[in-house]
Each structure stands twice: as C-alpha cells, then as structure tokens.
Chain A
Amino acid sequence: MARVIGGITTSHIPAIGNAIANKKFEEPYWKPFFEGYPPVRKWLAEQRPDVAIVFYNDHGLNFFLDKQPTFAVGAAPEYQNSDEGWGLSTIPPFPGIPELSWHIIETLVEKEFDVVTCQEMLVDHGFCVPMQLLWPDYRKSPIRTVPICINTVQHPLPSPSRCFRFGQAVGDAVRSFDEDLKVVVLGTGGLSHQLDGERAGFINKEFDQMCMQKIVEDPEYLTKYSILDIVREAGAQGAELILWLAMRGALSKTVKEIHRNYHIPISNTASGLLLLESAG
C-alpha cells in the first residue's frame, strides 16, 4: 500500500521563482529565506518519496472566471508551466501519475467531494515554485506529482473545516492505493499577506506563528475559523491557509515537526516553511 510519509508547507511567491532563475540565494534580502530549505531537501534525499501531492491555488493560468472549480484534481501524464504574463521564466514540465490521480478522484467522489478532473492542466507559480524549492533538479529526480487546485480566487471559498476534511479524504485515498509508494504532501502559499486594496501590505506575525504551531499540534483548532475570519486576521490572500489545512488533513493525527522557518518579508508576504513527518 502507498504511505504518506510526511508533509511540507512552503511559500510559493512568484518573486521566489525570479530569485531562483537569477541565483540570488546569497543576497542579504533572500538568504534568510533560502537557508530554510537545505534541511528539507536533505530529508527528501534521505526519504526519497516517489510522489508529491501538491495542494495549491491557480492564480489565473489554467482557470478563468468562466469556469472556476472549488476543487480540481490533475489526472495528466505531464503538467506544463506557461507564461503568466508578468515575466516569470517558464520552466520544464512535471511528470504526473495518472493511476494514482484517478484513485484519488474515485475515493474523493465516493466520500462526497465532487471534484473537477483535469487531463490537461497548466500549473502556475503556486505549484512550480514549491517544486523548484524542494527539488531544484526535479528533471533528474524520479518525483511524480498530483496537483490539486483549491479555489482562492472567487468567494465563496471552501471553509477551513471543509479543506481539512478534503485533505483527510486525500490521505485516505493514498493509504488505500495498492502500490508500494512513498508520498509526500505539500501545502503551498501563505502565510499572511494582502495584495489588494487600501490594506495592501498587511502582515500578522502573531497570527501566523499561532497557525504554524496549531498546524503541527492541533490543526482542528484552525477549522473553527471562517474564511472571513482568516481574511481579517491574515489578509485577503492569507486565505491560502486553507491549502496548508488540506495538507495537514492528509497526514496522520499526530506528526513530528522536523524543521521550521518563518521570515518577513518576501515580496509582500510572510513566508512559512514546515516539515512534518508522519507518526508511526
């Protein structure tokens, strides 16, 4: 059977993609951010997961407002990146694992999560930046992916509680997949930030640090919040916390925290990194 060996949360800001393209790793602005990642890469090199399931949000590359799914699951042999309009270099595609994708889809629908299925799916910075951060040489690595997109563009967004239960269903799907695979689950985006409106630049360090602690120890505490609560406390785009909750739902009830980094600011955002290992 497949196993969920751990989970990782990471920022996915486009500026990070540019910094990677321009190798700014040692610059004073970037160093406190990038130096958070080597311990996570070391863990990945030791554990050698076969698959990364990535909970992310599309920011207007694959989906437009003509059709805006709440939950969309990739079921493609390969996922292409493409021009997002503002100058981030397009990077090579990522291999998929359609047989696992379809098993996840079947399990989700059986558990009453009626997802959109995508046999073609462009992946934007929300997916690509985390993959580049965690597998800088992903073209040479055997890692295969299942992108799972959750709507954070157009309200109503799915509630924190529902996203946590959605993640639990994805975890159950992995654990019932009849192949000996090691799976790592990513929750991307966050933490607090707001790009739009007079409140642009809003960051809430205290709330972020509480969220990071609760994600580790007591994720269900966070499921009591509404989406508007999170927007109020973490900013309009801080709602990406629901992607972290979906990740956490897929892990075991208790987890071991292996590594953490938190840094303000990267671009307009507080960036949080967590590496959690499944217990038992």
Chain B
Amino acid sequence: MEDAQLADTKAERQSIPGTTIFDGRQAMRGYALNKMCYSFNRAENRAEFLADEDAYCAKYGLDEEQREAIRKRNVLDLIAAGGNIYYLAKFAGIFKLSVQDVGAQQTGMTVEEFNEKLRRAGD
C-alpha cells in the first residue's frame, strides 16, 4: 500500500509538462553541480572559475554529464543533470545572463520572442 502511494507521488511529480520537480532524487543527483554554483556567491570563486573552468569543475567533483552541460552553457541539460534553477542562476550570472536569456534558451525562442510571450500573458 505504501509503495503504491509513493509510486503515485512520483508519477504526479513527473506529470507537469516541461517541469522537473526538484526533489530528493534530483538534489542527490545534482549535489556537486549545485554546490559549485552555490560557491559563485563569492566574487573570488567566480574569478577562479573563469580563470580555469576545468580545474574548478574538477575541484567540485562534477561528473562528465554535468561537466559537458556546464561547457555547453545548456540550462536544460544542467537541470537534467540535477541542477536547481536558483543555483544555476548564479552560474548564468557569471555570463551576465538574465532569467529572460535563460528562459529563451530553454524554450528555443529568441529573447525578444520570450519577452513578447511574457508580455502577452498580461492580455
């Protein structure tokens, strides 16, 4: 009975299109990646990352999938590899990317198209 309930919950968590629920499973999957991104709260860490990206990722123990997603600056891949958007925003910030830039990348739109989508939501 309990197992069935847990299974239902998991199915529900996967039932919202285009949405990854950041639960314990994702939090374990993405721990190293999110920990690296959390370190970007400090300016000296952002500088260290920019000076030698490979060494910085290695220091935090990112796996190959996470390393590749960081290399490609690909937000959907980073989420698939366990990234949480609040920490990933700190990574995006290093490159001066706004949440509209990040939204456009994830939805395959130009930033202008994405902004227009947001504006139209108010009509």
Give chain A's interface residues, CB within 8 Å of chain B: 15, 59-61, 64-66, 82-87, 153-156, 194-203, 205, 228, 231-232, 236-237, 263-265, 267-268, 270
Bound Cα distance from A54 to B80, whole angstroms: 33
Q: Which A residues lie within 8 Å of B58 (CB)?
A: none
Query: Please, which residue of chain B has its CB at the minimum distance from the CB of A85?
Result: B90
* Contact of A65 with B92 in the complex, beta carbons under 8 Å: no
Interface string of B85-102 (1 = CB under 8 A from A): 111111011101011101
Bound Cα distance from A194 to B27, whole angstroms: 19
Q: Which A residues lie within 8 Å of B99 (CB)?
A: 15, 195, 267-268
Of B34, B42, B114, most A-chain CB atoms within 10 Å? B34
* Contact of B93 with A200 in the complex, beta carbons under 8 Å: no
Give chain B's interface residues, CB within 8 Å of chain A: 12-13, 15-24, 27, 31, 34-35, 37-38, 40-43, 46, 75-76, 79, 84-90, 92-94, 96, 98-100, 102-103, 106-107, 114, 117-119, 121-122
Q: Which A residues lie within 8 Å of B122 (CB)?
A: 203, 205, 263-265, 270
Query: Please, which residue of chain B has its CB at the minimum distance from the CB of A18?
Result: B98
* Contact of B85 with A195 in the complex, beta carbons under 8 Å: yes
* Contact of B90 with A60 in the complex, beta carbons under 8 Å: yes
Of A60, A153, A205, A264, most B-chain CB atoms within 10 Å? A60
Determine which of A65, A84, A85, A201 lies in contact with B117 in the assembled complex, contact meaning CB atoms within 8 Å.
A201
Bound Cα distance from A190 to B89, whole angstroms: 18
Bound Cα distance from A83 to B100, whole angstroms: 21
